[in-house]
Amino acid sequence: MNEIGQRRASGIRSREAFIATTGRLLRRQGYSGTGLSEIVAASGAPKGSLYFHFPGGKEELAAVAMARAGDELRGAIVAILSSHDALGDALCALLDALAAGLEASDYADGCPIATVALEAATRSESVRVVAADAFDSWVSALRERMLAGGMARETADRRALLVLAAVEGALILARARRDLVPLRAVREELLELAG
Amino acid sequence: MNEIGQRRASGIRSREAFIATTGRLLRRQGYSGTGLSEIVAASGAPKGSLYFHFPGGKEELAAVAMARAGDELRGAIVAILSSHDALGDALCALLDALAAGLEASDYADGCPIATVALEAATRSESVRVVAADAFDSWVSALRERMLAGGMARETADRRALLVLAAVEGALILARARRDLVPLRAVREELLELAG
């Protein structure tokens, strides 16, 4: 690789480090509680390159990191939902995966979008829109799975929203309680609802 | 009233103003985004009295304000749930009240506890415990209503958690989208579930 190629590779690494670090910090502590200096320190990337990659500063970086987290979780949701024939089993597998991640992180890693969505919804329009898009993409994944299983469109439109809402809410309750009881209760209820 | 009585009344007013202001700001913008100077300015109470009433500073004030908000919402939930004979109608009335509050505040006033619960769950043990207690008190109100309607205890234990989780999640989605579609979908689903 020549010098220009090496610089470009290093720039891509820095950009990716900023995005991954920001996503992790936002998920655990939210927008207001995450400072640019903390992001730079935790990323290990050169401080001077942050505004080169993200001229819009923290707001732009947060929007990119949240969009990335939303895409990744959508991919995971689609993969899990398609791994089981029965809708109920697929929803249980989704709840189990979220519960495992929450427990493994000592109740720190809930939804990667919800915390920032709640605190920044009235402050940053770009952050709000990215959050809404991420939620929509997950609802769509759930709805598509329900339609593929033969559910009527009107029911699927509502039920996909119920499932995502119940999952999001259960993650909040579980983080506050530091136990998996709410996720397990929602798992059983959704299994019953899926018939 | 003599001078000591007047001072005491003024002290109670200051304390109440700090609690109400903190509750309102935490609900809209979370813990990290709410500073003590903003609380003092918005409350109109004398700055010097804040540490007199709350020696533990922001963390103590937040815990007291969240406990107050939790009690108030529990009272509202109990009142709404007891105002309808059929469980489905009672749950619809709860969703309608939350939707009206969210819309009237231009999508700022969602759950008074969820935002702080998410961002401070890993930072402040006292805030986490107050949030968990508030959620528990709302789940209990829902469960008592279900038991009073003749639901089996095991089902009520799970269903009360499902209902609160779905409501909390729908409030997040609605705030991010700036519309009431998720609350209306959850309303219809819970009505159907209540039979």
User: pLDDT by residue (tens digit) across A171-189?
Assistant: 999 999 999 999 999 999 9
B157 neighbourhood in chain A, CB within 8 Å: 185
Contact across the interface for B165 and A188, Cβ inside 8 Å: no
What value does the mean pLDDT of chain A take?
Answer: 94
Closest partner residue to A32 (CB to CB) among B32, B121, B172 is: B32
Confidence of residue A40 (pLDDT cuts 50, 70, 90): very high
**Tokens representing residue B192 in the block:** 């159907």
A122 pLDDT higher than 90: no
Between B107, B169, B189, which is nearest A169 by CB? Answer: B169
The reported pLDDT for the residue numbered B3 is: 81
Which one of A34, A111, A128, A161 would you mutate to disrupt binding with B, by most B Cβ within 10 Å of its Cβ? A161
* pLDDT score at A7: 80
CB-based contact A170 B161, cutoff 8 Å: yes
Q: Which of A8, A1, A19, A15 is nearest to A46 (CA)?
A: A15
Q: Is A176 on the interface with B (CB under 8 A)?
A: yes
pLDDT tens readout for residues A44-53: 999 989 999 9
* 8 A C-beta contact, residue B18 and residue B39: yes
d(CA A80, CA A66): 21
In this complex, the residue of B108, B165, B176 whose CB is nearest that of residue A117 is B176
The phi-psi region of residue A152 (left if phi > 0; otherwise alpha if psi is between -120 and 50; otherwise beta) is beta
Question: Are the beta carbons of B66 and B129 closer than 8 angstroms?
Answer: no
A122 contacts in B (CB within 8 Å)?
28-29, 107-108
Q: Whole-angstrom distance between the N-terminal and C-terminal Cα of chain A?
A: 58
Q: Is the pLDDT of residue A3 over 90?
A: no
- Domain borders along chain B are 3-194
Please tell me the distance in Å from A176's CA to the nearest CA on chain B: 5
Question: How wide is the angle at C-alpha A184 spanned by C-alphas B115 and A112, nearest 5°?
Answer: 35
Q: Does A118 touch chain B (CB under 8 A)?
A: yes
Q: CB of B181 within 8 Å of any CB in chain A?
A: yes
Kindly report the number of other CB atoms within 10 A of residue B126's CB atom: 14
> What residues of chain A lie within 8 A of the CB of B159, using their CB?
189
In chain B, % of residues over pLDDT 70: 99
Query: Which residue of chain B has the CA closest to A164?
Result: B169
3-state secondary structure A170-183: HHHHHHHHCCCHHH
Contact residues, chain A, for B174 at CB < 8 Å: none
Q: What pLDDT, on the 0 to 100 scale, is given for residue B1?
A: 62
Q: Could you tell me if B78 lies within 8 Å of chain A, comparing CB atoms?
A: no
Min Cα separation B44/chain A (Å):
23
The minimum CA-CA distance between A6 and chain B, rounded to whole Å, is 39
Distance from CA of A1 to the nearest CA of B (A): 44
In terms of phi and psi (left: phi > 0; alpha: psi -120 to 50; beta: otherwise), the region of B54 is beta
- Which residues in chain A touch residue B108, judged by CB atoms under 8 angstroms apart? 121-122
Residue ranges of chain B with per-residue pLDDT less than 70? 1
Q: Cβ–Cβ of B164/A181 closer than 8 Å?
A: no
Give the CA angle between residues B126, B129, B135 to the nearest 5°: 145
Is residue A191 within 8 angstroms of chain B, CB to CB?
A: no
Confidence of residue A10 (pLDDT cuts 50, 70, 90): confident
Fold of A3-194: Tetracycline Repressor; domain 2 (1.10.357)
Residue A128 near chain B (CB below 8 Å) = yes
Using an 8 Å Cβ cutoff, are B191 and A191 in contact? no
Could you tell me the pLDDT band of residue A2, with boundaries at 50, 70 and 90? confident
Band of the pLDDT at A1, cuts 50, 70, 90?
Answer: low
Question: What pLDDT is stored for residue B121 in this prediction?
Answer: 82
Q: How far apart are CA B79 and CA B90, in angstroms?
A: 10
For residue A75, what pLDDT is reported?
98
B78 CB-side CA count, 13 A: 11
ipTM: 0.94
Q: Does B122 touch chain A (CB under 8 A)?
A: yes
User: Measured between alpha carbons, how far is B101 from B97 in angstroms, rounded to an integer?
Assistant: 6
Which tokens go with B159? 């269903």
What are the chain B neighbours of A67 within 8 Å (beta carbons)?
none
